């Protein structure tokens, strides 16, 4: 199969990209189990692209139950270097309004039940290999600029460049106390899926950026109604077309992109002595570590 350098993982409200042509469905198995759904591979204006519905088509998987390791590893198997995430989020600041799009530059992890690394997990056969990857700048600056410029080119949506995305466990929405703490901490937006995807993408040597579509004010805003599913879905229907148009523009901008700036993320991150890495783990994770051991 042709290498897919560009991947798109669609969140709530974005379950396909109609602009994809020459479409095929690719079912993958990974060392971490099955991804959320089949990957939809095809072309946008002649450029190879792989798409995955994060929650499965029909939105069947909650944030906590996502097999993010399988999802990201599957993109790696397809050859993806640049991974664009589309997600819904709540605003934590008054100047970020429903309908706006935020391309964050930082993430704050408030999850509790998710595996955030491919490595040293005996439950999935990767025990005995310890990796400490740098995520000081978790989102790829190059890809984030491409995404923000692509949204701006659409011309009908306010784009916010930068800001911290706090990721909560879900699937419930925040309490008012939690939301006020997030808001007072200066966080820009709140969502449920960036973690662990952003960390796994870095371990996989991919660039990762998020187009976060603001659907509500969470529950901190005293003059706005607390977030509900109905509120989120209503705004998503408006935002989805903007997201898809922005993806098309981003793919065009990435057509001749250089290798991902994070392709060598693991070069100095493997701390386990090479001779101590179990052979079965070497084989299992060869796609990730084969260049470094």
- Cβ proximity of 198 and 138 under 8 Å: yes
> How many helices and strands, by DSSP H and E, does the chain display?
7, 11
- Residue 22 tokens read as 């020459």
Q: Among all chains, which residue has been given the structure tokens 């209503």?
A: 234
Give the burial class of 228: count Cβ atoms within 10 A of its Cβ; 0-12 exposed, 13-18 middle, 19 or more buried.
exposed
Q: Which positions are catalytic?
A: 216, 218
- 126-158: string of b/e by CB count within 10 Å (b at 16+)? beebebebebeebbbebbbebbbbbbbebeebe
Nearest to 166 by CA among 198, 205, 134: 198
Nearest to 68 by CA among 212, 207, 204: 204
């Amino acid at each position: 199969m042709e290498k897919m350098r560009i991947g798109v993982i669609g969140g709530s409200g974005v379950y396909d990209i109609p602009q994809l042509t020459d479409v095929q469905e690719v079912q993958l198995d990974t060392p971490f189990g099955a991804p959320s759904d089949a990957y939809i591979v095809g072309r946008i204006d002649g450029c190879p692209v792989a798409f995955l519905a994060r929650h499965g088509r029909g939105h069947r998987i909650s944030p906590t139950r996502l097999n993010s390791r399988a999802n990201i590893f599957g993109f790696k198997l397809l050859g993806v270097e640049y991974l664009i995430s589309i997600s819904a989020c709540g605003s934590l600041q008054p100047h970020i309004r429903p309908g706006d799009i935020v391309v964050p530059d930082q993430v704050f992890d408030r999850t509790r039940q998710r595996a955030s690394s491919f490595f040293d997990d005996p439950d999935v056969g990767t025990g005995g290999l310890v990796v400490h990857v740098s995520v000081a700048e978790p989102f790829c600056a190059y890809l984030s600029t491409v995404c923000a410029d692509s949204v701006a080119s659409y011309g009908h949506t306010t784009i916010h460049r930068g800001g911290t995305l706090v990721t909560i466990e879900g699937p419930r929405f925040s309490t008012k106390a939690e939301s006020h703490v997030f808001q007072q901490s200066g966080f820009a937006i709140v969502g449920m899926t960036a973690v662990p995807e952003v960390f796994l993408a870095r371990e996989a040597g991919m660039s990762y950026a998020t187009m976060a579509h603001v659907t509500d004010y969470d529950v901190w805003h005293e003059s706005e109604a607390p977030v509900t599913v109905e509120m989120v879905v209503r705004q998503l229907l408006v935002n989805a077309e903007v997201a898809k148009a922005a993806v098309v523009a981003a793919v065009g901008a990435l057509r001749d992109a250089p290798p991902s700036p994070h392709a060598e993320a693991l070069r100095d991150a493997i701390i386990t002595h090479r001779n101590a890495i179990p052979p079965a783990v070497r084989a299992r994770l060869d796609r990730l570590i084969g260049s470094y051991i």
